A and B are shown apart, each in its own frame.
Chain A
Amino acid sequence: MRDSRPQRSVRVAGLISLPGFVIWYLLPLGMTLWYAFTESAFDRRFAGLKNFSEVVGNKWFRLGSENLLLMGGCMMLAGMLAAMLLAPLLLRHQRLAGIGAAILILPLLIPSVSVVTVWKMLFEIHSILRPTASLLALMTLFLWKTAGACAILLYTDLRRIPREILDAAALDGAGAFRQYVSVQLPLIGKTVVLCSILLVMFLLRIYKESWLLFGDAPGKKLYLLQHFMNQQFKLLRFQNVAAAASILTAAALALYAASLLMLHKRRRGL
């Protein structure tokens, strides 16, 4: 079946659709890496690790990455936990799942600028929390936005597990909790990993909400790596932005690779 004609139309489809992606995304990714190793925008000499050492020595870079790691870790754990608690509830009450899906997924789709308006309002009412309010605001916002969608993903996968497997586990004396932890969760391991990858992705995009809520200077507690990069960008220190972006990219890739490795091991284990 593989003569040249059918393949040609496929090739044309690729030729039309791909150049844009290559020019606007793939090339820039490479350019970021290249900038990180050059002296300046005008002096294209190889600079070795100069930009990196400058960035790593910068205290704002350190603050930003520490905050991102710390806050990110907390948010991811909280998000995952919330999704894992919500999913079995949905599974148990599938009649509520239809309306539940709408309520849980819409936060992810609604424009950040609308969402942020609500959060400003809610946290202005509870001004008692003022000193820690900003941190709490961002964390609850992240949870609200992402945990629901992850719960729905887990729920749809849980639904595919055949009833018999659970009945067998119940015959062996496993209670609902034990069934969930020892049978259901391992069976949907793939989706759990997918959810954690999505959570990292959403986490790296929380800067959007943070910027809309607090602007360029959110205070020390909420200063993220992305704030540092935007600040350096405004100062036209592109080499520093590129170096920071390379570090962020490498860290993100390492995280994703680790999750995929976990997935791979899991598949072999089963």
Chain B
Amino acid sequence: MRKVTATLLSIVLLIWALPMAALLTSSLIQGDLSSLLRGEAAPSLQQYRTLFENRQLLIRFRNSAVMTAGILALQFPLSVLGGFWLARRKGKAQAIMAICMVIAMLLPFQSVMVPAFRLSKWTGLYDSPWAVILLQAFSPLGTLTVWFFLRAIPEDNWEAALLDTSSQLRIFLRAILPQLQPALAVLALLCFAEAWNLVEQPLILLQDEGQLPASVSLNDLELNGAGPYAGAVVYSLPILFLYAVVGIILNHSQADTQML
């Protein structure tokens, strides 16, 4: 029985890994996967070469990188502060705000699409990367992540540190934040994955196609004559890298690796 289930699980995991394996394989051959199955395709790096010569596509990658960097630079500190506020002031305002944030996180972008569009017009940010950066940087996912982890820290830790200093913020920065390493790693991974994968927001808030990130336009045929597989692989690499780094951090901290 044990052997049967082990085989079953391995098969399921193999199937689950298949799409990623297929993507990697087809990025490394000339032609597509069906020609490989017929034995006609030869391995080559041609796709990657064309990719790095395609200026248009590289600009999209740069747009993605700029946007993601801007979002992370804002969202990361804001999330830490917001989570700190949610966890340390225990009044009605916090309870209401926490509920609002959860609701906002659960709703699709279409729920706020029109006001977000008009807000960006009104503030003059429309058609600039800042419109997307601000919208995404204020999304509640990060704050809720930090709050979730902070709630797991026992009250005693705060009280003990309160004997040394009277500033909650100082306690937070000196005593609590170091314990939060795994939380911050997860926070970075989630924020990055979200920011790297924006589709609807740029489509609504940006008009100029040259400003779109690669997460929207990687598949455009006119951009990507040589076969989109290399682009898709390269665009996934930062996520894979970050996932590996976060995994290492989580393993190092003795904290329960419950999240990942």
Interface residues of A (CB under 8 A from B): 1, 3, 5-7, 9-14, 16-18, 20-21, 23-29, 31-32, 35, 41, 86, 89-90, 92-93, 96, 99-122, 124-125, 144, 148, 152, 156, 197, 200-201, 204-205, 207-208, 211-212, 225-226, 229-230, 233, 238, 241-242, 244-245, 248-249, 252-253, 256
**Chain A minimum-CB-distance residue to B136:** A24
- Asked if B19 and A115 make an inter-chain contact with CB atoms under 8 angstroms apart, the answer reads yes
Q: Which residues of A contact B112 (CB under 8 A)?
A: 25, 28-29, 32, 245
- Asked if B167 and A118 make an inter-chain contact with CB atoms under 8 angstroms apart, the answer reads no
- Asked if B9 and A93 make an inter-chain contact with CB atoms under 8 angstroms apart, the answer reads yes
- Asked if A20 and B104 make an inter-chain contact with CB atoms under 8 angstroms apart, the answer reads no
Cβ-closest 9 pairs across A and B: A28-B115, A9-B169, A17-B82, A20-B138, A14-B85, A114-B232, A28-B112, A31-B115, A204-B108
Q: Which of B48-56, B174-182, B195-203 contacts A (4 or more CB under 8 A)?
A: B195-203
Instruction: Select A99's contact among B12, B13, B78, B105, beta carbons within 8 Å.
Output: B13
Interface residues of B (CB under 8 A from A): 2, 5-6, 8-10, 12-13, 16-17, 19-20, 22-23, 26, 32-34, 37, 78-79, 81-82, 84-85, 88-89, 97, 100-101, 103-119, 134-135, 137-140, 143, 159, 162, 166-170, 189, 193, 196-197, 199-200, 204, 214-216, 218-219, 228-229, 231-233, 235-236, 239-240, 243, 247, 258, 260
Instruction: Select A89's contact among B5, B17, B100, B103, beta carbons within 8 Å.
Output: B5
- Asked if A117 and B111 make an inter-chain contact with CB atoms under 8 angstroms apart, the answer reads no
Selected A-B contacts with CB under 8 Å, 25 pairs: A5-B167, A6-B166, A9-B167, A9-B168, A11-B85, A14-B82, A16-B78, A21-B101, A24-B116, A25-B138, A27-B119, A29-B104, A32-B115, A89-B12, A93-B9, A111-B235, A113-B215, A118-B22, A121-B229, A122-B19, A204-B108, A229-B113, A241-B113, A249-B107, A256-B103
- The CB with the most chain B CB atoms within 10 A, among A18, A125, A252, A253, is that of A18
Main secondary structure of the interface of A (DSSP, over half): helix
Q: Which residues of B contact A104 (CB under 8 A)?
A: 13, 16
- Asked if A114 and B5 make an inter-chain contact with CB atoms under 8 angstroms apart, the answer reads no
Q: Which residues of A contact B34 (CB under 8 A)?
A: 124-125
- Asked if B100 and A114 make an inter-chain contact with CB atoms under 8 angstroms apart, the answer reads no
Bound-state CA distance A238–B169 (Å) is 44
Bound-state CA distance A111–B2 (Å) is 36
**Chain B minimum-CB-distance residue to A201:** B106
**Shortest Cβ gap from A230 to chain B (Å):** 8
Q: Which residues of A contact B103 (CB under 8 A)?
A: 253, 256
Q: Which residues of B contact A102 (CB under 8 A)?
A: 243, 247
Q: Which residues of A contact B139 (CB under 8 A)?
A: 21, 25
- Asked if B101 and A27 make an inter-chain contact with CB atoms under 8 angstroms apart, the answer reads no
- Asked if B110 and A229 make an inter-chain contact with CB atoms under 8 angstroms apart, the answer reads yes
**Chain B minimum-CB-distance residue to A117:** B232
**Chain A minimum-CB-distance residue to B15:** A144
**Shortest Cβ gap from A27 to chain B (Å):** 7
Q: Contacts A100-B13, A122-B19; is A25 near B85 (CB within 8 Å)?
A: no
**Chain B minimum-CB-distance residue to A89:** B9
- Asked if A6 and B16 make an inter-chain contact with CB atoms under 8 angstroms apart, the answer reads no
Q: Contacts A7-B89, A24-B138, A109-B193; is A1 near B162 (CB within 8 Å)?
A: yes
**Shortest Cβ gap from A203 to chain B (Å):** 9
